[in-house]
Structure 1
Amino acid sequence: MKKLMALLLGSALVLGLAACGGGNDESKNKGNESTETASSGDPAAKIFQQKCSTCHGGNLEGGFGPSLKKIGGELSQDQILKTIQNGKGQMPPNVIKGDDAKMVAEWLSKKK
């Protein structure tokens, strides 16, 4: 029973940290930067790296969350914004808020 509780608590902690968007650990991407990510100097890309890359990958390739490489071909900017605001599946709502959310939704809508 103790092992089960430890496993559940450990899993909840890992999922909770992943859902929070991670930190700003630029060392993971050094030497492996993509024009789709923060290396472009785009503020939306930097926000994505800080808040979303833990689940969606540093190059939009997916991981815990789905790939976003071609999300703009699947969803409109408004649909992407609503997903950011409302969450979906394991993604919690409002990982990014306000103008930052709008900026990231616009940036992602161009990924086709």
Structure 2
Amino acid sequence: MRKTAIIGSAVLLALALSACGKSKTPETNQGGTAGGGTATTADAQAIVKQNCTSCHGVNLEGGGGPKLSAIGSKYSKDQIAGIITNGKGAMPNFKSKLSESDISAVSDWLAAKK
């Protein structure tokens, strides 16, 4: 019985972690600034909605990933950008999925959440 519960928990954890960062849409830069220009707050929110909410929750309340609703009180914009770019722990990197402009916009937006 206990062995089954442990295996079941491990399977659920693996499924939750594999879902992080995966979008249901094809890997394109929708809502981003692939064509150039500067990303806005609306762009940042769209990027977060498309790429982050599966793990961090629709309201950034956490879930499979940590809570981000007050992440700006823990990390600076540059630290957040580094985590998005390179990944950290179970979080995958997004350097090949998001442009530098998109990462900067999302980092700015998240850093303001205190």
Shorter-normalised TM range: 0.5 to 0.7
Q: Which deviations, in whole Å up to 9, do the C-alpha atoms of 1:18-67 show, x marking residues without a partner?
A: 1233336xxxxxxxxxxxxxxxx711011000000000000010000000
For 2:68 and 2:11, the matched residues in 1 are separated by 29
Give the number of the structure with larger relative contact order, counting CA–CA contacts within 8 Å between residues 6 or more apart.
Answer: 2
TM-score (norm 1): 0.68
Gap change, CA 1:64 and 1:81, over 3 Å in 2: same
For 2:15 and 2:56, the matched residues in 1 are separated by 18
> What is residue 20 of structure 1 aligned with on the other side?
21
Aligned residues: CA RMSD: 2.4
Task: Show structure 1 runs of 4+ deviating over 3 A.
Answer: 7-15
For 1:66 and 1:13, the matched residues in 2 are separated by 16
For 1:51 and 1:22, the matched residues in 2 are separated by 6
Instruction: Map 1:27-42 to 2 at 5 A.
Output: 42=42
Q: Which deviations, in whole Å up to 9, do the C-alpha atoms of 1:62-104 show, x marking residues without a partner?
A: 0000000100011000000000011111001115342111110
Instruction: Name the stretch that deviates more: 95-104 or 54-63.
Output: 95-104
Q: C-alpha displacement at 1:9, in angstroms?
A: 8.6
**More helix, by proportion:** 1
Q: C-alpha displacement at 1:13, in angstroms?
A: 6.0
SS in 1 for 2:59: coil
TM-score (norm 2): 0.67
Gap change, CA 1:10 and 1:63, over 3 Å in 2: closer
> What is residue 83 of structure 1 aligned with on the other side?
83
- Residue-pair matches, total: 89
